[in-house]
Amino acid sequence: MAIWNSLGKYRDTGLLVVRVGLGVMMIMHGLPKLQGGPELWAGVGKSMGNIGIHFMPTFWGFMAAATETVGGLFLLLGLFFRPAALLLAFTMVIAGLMHLSKGDGISGASHAIELCFVFLGLILIGPGKHSVDKK
């Protein structure tokens, strides 16, 4: 169909929609954690124990909350796009492992795993021309 073939010229607009949508959702997901303070950060940071890191859980929890919030903003803007997407992908790996270790199964971890694949794909694709990082 001709209509589907002509949509290729909107690739950068499609990337913009994906970036803005995911960026807003990551900010909304991370901001309450960031505002939660050291007690919440320590709880989130204990998830690093799933990869053998048991020290400084408050720091790791803060970093996860900051990555979700600030990384989401960077994703939205297309600023420091690939480093932000890489950090978000890593955060989603840890979130997926946390759900699996809690016994939530693959259905409990699927959202984090799916987002990890999206962020990895975005690293390869780049931010598109409608971004602060545009080349």
Q: Residue 6 domain-assigned?
A: no
The predicted model scores a pTM of 0.93
Is residue 86 a part of any domain in this protein?
yes
Q: How far apart are CA 53 and CA 5, in angstroms?
A: 49
pLDDT band at 18, cuts 50/70/90?
A: very high
Q: Indicate the DSSP class of residue 102.
A: T
Contact predicate 82/121, CB 8 Å = no
Residue 1 has pLDDT above 70, yes or no: no
Count up the domains in the chain and report the number. 1
Asked if the structure places residue 40 within a domain, the reply is yes
Please name the residue that has the structure tokens 């492992």.
97
Q: For the segment 75-119, what is each residue's pLDDT rounded down to a tens digit?
A: 999 999 999 999 999 999 999 999 999 999 999 999 999 999 999
Any domain includes 132: no
Give the range of the structural domain holding residue 75, as residue numbers without chain letter: 11-125
Encode pLDDT of 32-83 as tens digits.
Answer: 999 999 999 999 999 999 999 999 999 999 999 999 999 999 999 999 999 9
Inside any domain, residue 1? no
| Closest C-alpha among 25, 46, 51, 42 to residue 119 | 25
